[in-house]
């Protein structure tokens, strides 16, 4: 499989670019995700021109317009950094990014949870860093997460699932997708979308059904915006159970009563939290292969990302 291009805060790869000359190497990122992702490292502070080591910085001032200021000597780097951010975002527009993993809590790279201090030095509200925040505004469809959230199994699974969906979408778009291609894309993602948001599935279904009334470009734009919005909602045990029960219905007439009971029991055990999601999914995939179920074998819900990542072993 060709590796997927993902942006990443350089220090998470082990690059010694932090203010203290250190790094924040995350071995899960390099050793596990690195098998599938091709990294594009970005360190805003070093690329902007600051030295290693350097004085640490924090955000100070109003929540909507905080300044990036060094903590000891009070040097204001806001204007210079904003100029760098503007140019960097233009460069990133030309790169085929399918996601971005940011360093958490950094006043430059963070995408949330960054403390903004009052001018008197008291910790105030939390927001995004200068680069992280600008990236989210410029590329709202690109899946983004920080390293803190990446270690939550549900958020990690959600992020990686979105990366793979977004990549498939871009491939479709690159190949000048027709309305027929969009319908096929939507059909294969139906159960996946249902596991995140039945409401978004219904809205996307309506959009696709009425696709003839939209101009092609508008249709594609509306579809991907709605899709990525829906996928950001977490697939909970209740929502997954709903999808799994729906899938079980496809085998009603082909399974023996013992096998049907076993399948329902496995789904129930998942719902109660006794087994992870991978258990009912493996059993269902076995039946999909055995009975060659044409609709289900195309559903990305049953194979959303490489099994070696073991993302569904923990949710």
Q: Which residues bind ligand SF4 (CB under 6 A)?
A: 9-11, 17-18, 43-46, 103, 106, 108-109
Identify the residue whose tokens are 């000597």: 73
Which lies closer to ligand SF4 via its Cβ, residue 100 or residue 251?
A: 100
Rounded Cα distance between 36 and 9, Å, is: 17
Alpha-carbon distance 185 to 310, whole Å?
25
CB 50 → ligand SF4: shortest distance, Å? 9
State how far the Cα of 172 lies from the Cα of 189, in Å rounded to an integer. 13
Distance, in Å, from the CA atom of 196 to the CA atom of 238, rounded to the nearest integer, reads: 10
Q: Which is nearer to ligand SF4, 23 or 268 (CB)?
A: 23
Q: Closer to ligand SF4 at the Cβ: 19 or 36?
A: 19
To the nearest whole angstrom, how small is the minimum distance from the Cβ of residue 54 to ligand SF4?
A: 10
Nearest to 226 by CA among 265, 266, 182, 261: 182
Please name the residues in contact with 75: beta carbons below 8 A apart, sequence gap of 6 or more. Answer: 55, 69
Say how far apart CA 220 and CA 223 lie, in whole Å. 5
The Cα–Cα gap between 54 and 50 comes to 7
Shorter beta-carbon distance to ligand SF4: residue 18 or 200: 18
Least distance CB 16 / ligand SF4 (angstroms): 9
Identity of the residue, 19 or 287, whose beta carbon is nearer to ligand SF4 in the bound complex: 19
Tell me the closest approach of the beta carbon of residue 118 to ligand SF4, in angstroms.
23
Minimum Å gap between C-beta 9 and ligand SF4 is 4
**Which residue's structure tokens are 């991978």?**
278
């Amino acid at each position: 499989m060709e590796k997927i291009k993902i942006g990443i805060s350089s220090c998470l790869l082990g690059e010694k670019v932090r203010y203290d000359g250190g790094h924040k190497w995350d071995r899960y990122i390099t050793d596990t995700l690195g098998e599938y992702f091709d990294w594009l490292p970005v360190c805003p502070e070093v690329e902007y021109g600051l030295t290693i080591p350097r004085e640490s910085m924090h955000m100070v001032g109003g929540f909507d317009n905080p300044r990036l200021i060094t903590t000891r000597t009070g040097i204001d780097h806001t204007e210079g950094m904003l100029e760098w951010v503007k140019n960097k975002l233009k460069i990133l527009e030309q790169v085929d990014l399918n996601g971005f993993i940011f360093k958490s809590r950094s006043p430059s790279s963070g995408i949330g949870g960054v403390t903004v201090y009052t001018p008197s030095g008291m910790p105030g509200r939390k927001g995004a860093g200068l680069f992280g925040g600008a990236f989210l505004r410029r590329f709202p469809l690109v899946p983004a997460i920080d390293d803190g959230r990446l270690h939550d199994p549900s958020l990690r699974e959600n992020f990686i699932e979105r990366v793979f969906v977004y990549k498939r979408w871009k491939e479709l778009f690159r190949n000048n997708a027709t309305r027929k291609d969009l319908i096929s894309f939507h059909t294969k993602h139906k159960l996946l979308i249902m596991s995140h948001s039945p409401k978004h599935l219904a809205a996307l279904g309506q959009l696709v059904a009425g696709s003839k009334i939209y101009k092609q470009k508008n249709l594609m734009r509306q579809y991907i915006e709605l899709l990525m919005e829906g996928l950001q909602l977490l697939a909970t045990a209740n929502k997954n159970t709903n999808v799994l029960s729906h899938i079980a219905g496809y085998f009603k007439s082909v399974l023996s009563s013992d096998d049907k009971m076993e399948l329902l029991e496995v789904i129930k055990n998942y719902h109660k939290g006794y087994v992870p999601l991978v258990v009912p999914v493996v059993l269902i995939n076995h039946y999909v292969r055995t009975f060659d179920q044409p609709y289900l074998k195309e559903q990305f819900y049953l194979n959303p990302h490489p099994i070696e990542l073991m993302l569904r072993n923990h949710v």
